[in-house]
Structure 1
Amino acid sequence: RTPWRYQSKRKGLTRTSTQKKLLAEKRRERREQYIDVIDRVQANLNEEAVKLHVQFSGRSIQWYKTDILQQSHKAGKKHKVNRWNAFLHAEVKRINDSCPEGTNRFRACDLMPELSAKWQAMSAEEREEATKDLIGELEDLREMKARAPQNVGLSTFYDIHATMASIEREVNALHERIGVEVLFFAVRPEYDHFNKPHVFHTSERIPEFFSLSLKVPVGEVAQRLEAYCCSGVTGKALNSSQQVLQQLQKRAGEVILQKLREAANFTVPKMFYSNFDDHITAKYAVIIEGWPLAKFVPPGQIRSHIELEQLVRAWETNIARFHKLNREEFAAW
């Protein structure tokens, strides 16, 4: 056998230009199919979130989308309830119930040595007698906790907190090894999130730089960043009148469509301004009350910032609203 250093390199499979074009075409088709599927999934997700918003209200559409996507980090398999679990749960509850009001409650780990010794001293018959009615109660309690609704805001808070802690550990280790300086901000995208602006830096040199060079504390920069992110303004919209106008038009259209779906109690695919009676009232028995502008036109045709702001404010404050006709009103219409 010839030593590897003297062996010639293996020649790879050489494809013709036609074969390369076919492979490129297959990859392009596969990518387009994937994008189409993703678009359909996102559309379905948004539609389901709108349905939840219309049915239950009280929350934004984005909140319901987050709730749908919220995944549990707990293991799928759970240990079966045994007599020791039932005994431990009942004893901890009994001891805590006997404590005076206002005192700290015990956890299972605090009482484990005492209760374990008590359990070991019991005979098999005594254990069975003491826990015969407790296993079912503990199973019901577990089932109730498993089916309890999630607190999306709280879950998001803990997710961000755990992720930030993990990142900080890695960055601190990198700083210790190499000495590289790292600064990052973490701010919430909406005001209904619980997380405060988070600033991380590997040494005091970074806040000193902000104070000496920029004349502003690094914490204030984080607060300004949070205010900007929560404002909903993106890109150069602050300096561009046209972009501000487009944002107002989009916002007005979204608010009106959302209000229409809530009034109709149905996911209306599109708001019609021309021939509104035929496309909306005749189908969904919904009319408009309190339209604030002189002309009934789509927001995209309104070129005045003042009129668009007036339109959005009217719909958000229910000065302008949709009214669902009952049978008598619809018959009279």
Structure 2
Amino acid sequence: MQALTTNKPRVPWRRREKRRYKRSAAEKAVLKEKRQAHCISYSSALQAARNVVFHEAEKLHAQFSGHSVQYYYEEIMQHSCIAQSSRGINRWNTFCRQEVKRINDERAPSIAPLKAAQCAHRIAERWNSMSKSEQEDATQAAVKDLEDHREMKKLAIRNVPLEAFHDCQRSVQAIDREARALNARTGVEIIFIATRSTTDHFNQPHIFQTSHATDFFDACFKVSAVDVALRLEAFSIAGIQELAAAPERVSRMYYHNFDHHITAKYHIIVENWPLSKFCCPGDINSRTEISVLKSAWDSGATRFHKLSDTEFEKWEEEYFQAALHNRNENEGEDRGLQNTIPTASTQSSVPSNDDDSPSTSSLTPDSQSQVAPSHQRTVPIAAINVITAANGNAMHVPKKARKERSDKGVKRGPRKRMNAPANDTVLHWRHPSPNASANTPLHPHIVSVL
């Protein structure tokens, strides 16, 4: 049974030497003309080959006439390019690989290594001169080494992100070609999603989908395949706590009050914002800043980050404390403004059950209790780090200014009643006697004269 995974580490097996030669302007111009001429000649030859194939499709159409010419043309062109089987390990391949490695080890380091095709004739002469037992003895240990080498090349994890990127690109392109051909031949509906599993890789989410598969996601799940791919990528990288498990879609981006509209609702923050001001890209007037911002998003340096449950609980506590602090400051300012206004004397009267001696009480400014102005809190509040700059420091989130009160800055004192008597007289309305009926009219009665 063919192995699907391996624990073997990936090791280099090729010998490459980088040779750099700086060409002059004239040499570059000659190479440019040569490339252009090659491109033109190749395009014409390719078109001629296509014409030949199309001519053969016309012959098939004339002979069978069951389908259109385009159908037979596609039938001719749609041959699988994926190898259906691989060549097994034999002792000649093992011996050839072993001898090529020995020959290159004996050569000087400055000399370019030889390929197997360059020295295969010499090796074949030695191989044919050996008996069968000698061949088995010479390749006994190398067979196992070649098997491990093939398994390592096929299944071992890539060590270099760039190699993983190119490997992924070549593989998904081959799968796309085969899936497109299969859909054209049989009408099978296919959706293929490939995402990276670590942030060290460079691959973006890759999606291949046929027309009906696209309509299926839009009609049944109310999301696009792109959203599914992004959630799959987030789940593969960060797990269920991240964007993959987000129950809601962010329908609109808010730059003003980002913490209230986005972080508090969706648990999302922005990391490594490259500009000095957090704002909508449409409000940026500098082309340089726009280029910097686009490059930061394309490279992944600037990104959205979904807070985990623990991180969001901590952020929510800081958000609540900051809101409470701001409210106390505003109330302290209002009380301080009221305490600076002189207050008039206050009188209070309570009707007595005795008709002849009503009880009265009055307060003078000297006896009135004074309320000390409140002081602002000096305890610092932890920073709500919903937007971080490139250096990791917190950035200011723009707030939408609230409408100012119409009486801001106006001194407020005790209010006067409408149609009230003079300040030196306080009237108390009561019945003329305790036994009076409810229909008896009320009469004013002077209870205090200053």
TM-score normalized with structure 2 length = 0.26
Larger CA Rg, structure 1 vs 2: 2
Structure (1 or 2) with the greater helix fraction: 1
